[in-house]
Structure formats: structure tokens, C-alpha cells
């Protein structure tokens, strides 16, 4: 069973936006995809460690602000070069207006 940790109020991450949060020494890019829910991935581009949470969120993909690699925020899979390796995706849930992430398990998002 996954242990969820509250990382932010849902109101801090409006639809169509991403925010960087730090929890238990882990930096996450928390992304709120319009019509799909909230997702969390590692806040580190697999190409050169760029801060993904500072990139532009377009639909279900976030663009690394350094070299433009796109990642699927649901799975962490790279979608364009120069990235070829995935980043960690985390299981997410929203409870009572709070975004919660399971740092001990990979998974998708939800709302």
C-alpha cells in the first residue's frame, strides 16, 4: 500500500500549470492537466538535469526549459529529443482539496 504525503493545496496548481514542490528531499514537478487531473514527475530532465517544473506545460506534456525536450507528465516518458530516458512518475491523488503524492511508488495521476 502506498503512503501518500500532502505536497500542496490544489488551488496552488491551477489547471494548465506546473509547480515545483520539495518533499522529503525529493524535488517534484506537479502538473495539473486540464480535464485529466494532477500528475507528478521528477523535477529533473533526464538529458541534462534541467528543472522540468519550470518549463511550459502544454496539454499532457512539459517542456524542459533548457533544451526543449518534452516529457509525458502521466508516465515520465520522453517524447522528443534530446531526452531519451524517462523520468520517475509518481502516484497522485487529490483529497479534500490537497494534492498528495506517493513517493514510494510509481504511477499516474488523478483528481
Q: What is the pLDDT of residues 22-40, one digit of tens each?
A: 998 999 999 999 999 999 9
Tell me the CATH number at 28.
2.102.10.10
Please report the pLDDT score of residue 104 as a whole number. 82
Could you tell me the three cell numbers for 50? 534541467
Q: In this structure, what are the phi and psi dihedrals at residue 22, rounded to the nearest 5 degrees?
A: -115, 130
Please report the pLDDT score of residue 2 as a whole number. 76
What's the whole-model pTM score?
0.91
Residues (pLDDT < 50) of the chain are 110-111
Number of domains forming the structure of the chain: 1
Complete DSSP assignment for the chain: -PPEEEEEEGGGS-TTEEEEEEETTEEEEEEEETTTEEEEEESS-TTT---GGGS-EETTEEE-TTT--EEETTT--B-STT--S---EEEEEEETTEEEEEEEEE---B-
> Where in the sequence is the domain holding 98, given as residue range(s)?
4-106
User: Does residue 111 belong to any structural domain of this protein?
Assistant: no
Please report the pLDDT score of residue 108 as a whole number. 53
Please report the pLDDT score of residue 106 as a whole number. 58
Please report the pLDDT score of residue 111 as a whole number. 45
Amino acid at each position: 500500500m502506498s503512503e501518500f504525503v500532502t505536497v500542496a493545496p490544489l488551488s496552488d496548481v491551477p489547471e494548465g500549470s506546473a509547480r515545483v514542490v520539495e518533499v522529503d528531499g525529493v524535488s517534484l514537478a506537479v502538473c495539473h492537466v486540464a480535464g485529466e487531473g494532477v500528475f507528478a514527475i521528477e523535477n529533473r530532465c533526464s538529458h541534462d538535469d534541467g528543472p522540468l517544473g519550470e518549463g511550459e506545460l502544454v496539454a499532457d506534456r512539459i517542456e524542459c526549459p533548457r533544451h526543449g525536450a518534452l516529457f509525458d507528465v502521466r508516465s515520465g516518458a520522453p517524447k522528443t529529443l534530446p531526452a531519451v530516458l524517462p523520468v520517475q512518475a509518481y502516484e497522485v491523488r487529490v483529497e479534500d482539496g490537497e494534492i498528495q503524492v506517493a513517493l514510494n511508488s510509481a504511477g499516474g495521476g488523478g483528481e
